[in-house]
Copies of this chain bind each other. A is one copy, B any other.
């Protein structure tokens, strides 16, 4: 095995090298992302209009596109020290197996009990809720990673945590639910009879197994109507991307320590927060003209917001209670086939990433799920980490790029985000092993029908 003698398999920063501040990518953008709009008036949302839904400090972070750095409070840094800095791994074994001259690194965010990067923002959001003197928070969860992370964070700060879990996940992933209960959260399958929007959806679609957009609507309604509660969200929002910048900051610090400059940076894209977090400081350099990188967002072919969506104002949720956001979207009514195994099933995309993609600052590709699971299993066997289906979208494209290097002989440096582990996704792996997994790709007609329902803007 050929090795750069100086670079270890795993680069761990020291605890005192943990970033002291989150990086707000928007500060370095000349053309800022479009503002959130009030769904009734179509006017930009003001902080006071959001304060019934979100925590005050989080609203400030959400609306601020000028401040480049937000100091990470000490209490949050103390919690981060329980599982961070996360390792940046040099994939020596994968490189050797592929026979590629490319140098491959991945930032591994799965070494914590929630199993993913979601904890980075969950602990921040729980902290600000606690600071504000709130009793609890509500949220939705699909695959369950966000709900688990938030349960852990709330347990740490002694906050109530009420999770609306998309019904099909609730039924297929009883163990996910049980981890949340271990952390003291209450978990309700969505749609439920606990909210008006849930009742309405159940009346219109009896027997529905739910969707993320619908669970969001329920969680927001519950928060707004319960004294001392606010709603928190695990992706899509700019505040979440801000917290997730810790991924990119650590990655950059680890690479800088060894004088490594990446050529290609790859992340999977659902709502966009892990991708935005990973690429943040690199994109910042690119925006400031200090460096150039190829940045690739990877999304499922079954839910292709970037590659087949439109850039337009749309609702963030099915119940249309949330602000309008300008983003790449498939339409808020779009629900990917239940056949789709991974998360990454959100109809839209973070507004900052959408604007950057629109400006041509990054690329996007979509991949089929059987190709994704093939890459997942290959990676598991070689690198010894069982990846989450979501993360495996990035693995797929990292392997593809490394194979291109093999053909061209180029020694490119590839960095990708390994956002989490697949321990709770074994049903999907089983389907794959048994040859029962198929690929769903929405037709143009399906998408056109969905686009037709986008809100009409002046």
Contact = CB atoms under 8 A, between A and B. Distances in A.
Interface of A: 1, 8-10, 12, 14-15, 78-79, 81-83, 93, 111-113, 115, 152, 155-156, 174-175, 178-179, 181-184, 377, 380-386, 421, 423-424, 426-427, 429-430, 433
20 contacts: A8-B14, A8-B15, A9-B15, A10-B81, A79-B384, A112-B384, A113-B421, A115-B423, A152-B384, A155-B381, A156-B384, A175-B427, A178-B433, A179-B386, A181-B429, A182-B377, A182-B381, A183-B380, A183-B381, A423-B423
Nearest to A181: B433
A81 B8 contact: yes
A10 B18 CA distance: 13
Contact of A83 (B156, B174, B384): B384
Contacts of A9: 15, 81-82
In the complex, the count of this chain's copies comes to 2
Most buried by B among A1, A81, A182, A377: A182
B384 A113 contact: yes
Sorted from nearest, which 5 A-B pairs have the closest CB atoms?
A175-B426, A9-B81, A8-B15, A178-B426, A423-B423
Given A183-B381, A380-B113, A383-B82, A178 B423 contact: no
B380 A182 contact: yes
A426 B83 contact: no
A154 to B, nearest CB: 10
A186 to B, nearest CB: 12
Contacts of A430: 174, 178, 181
Contacts of A174: 426, 430
B81 A113 contact: no
Nearest to A151: B381
Contacts of A14: 8
Contacts of A155: 381
A427 B421 CA distance: 19
Contacts of A181: 429-430, 433
A385 B113 contact: yes
Contacts of A380: 113, 182-183
A121 to B, nearest CB: 15
A386 B93 contact: no
Given A175-B423, A175-B427, A182-B429, 13 more contacts: A8-B81, A10-B15, A82-B93, A82-B383, A82-B384, A152-B381, A152-B384, A174-B426, A175-B175, A179-B423, A181-B430, A182-B386, A423-B424
A377 B79 CA distance: 18
A107 to B, nearest CB: 15
Contacts of A81: 8-10
Given A1-B78, A10-B15, A113-B380, A179 B83 contact: no
A115 to B, nearest CB: 8
A172 B344 CA distance: 29
A9 B174 CA distance: 32
Given A9-B81, A81-B9, A178-B433, A113 B15 contact: no
Nearest to A373: B182
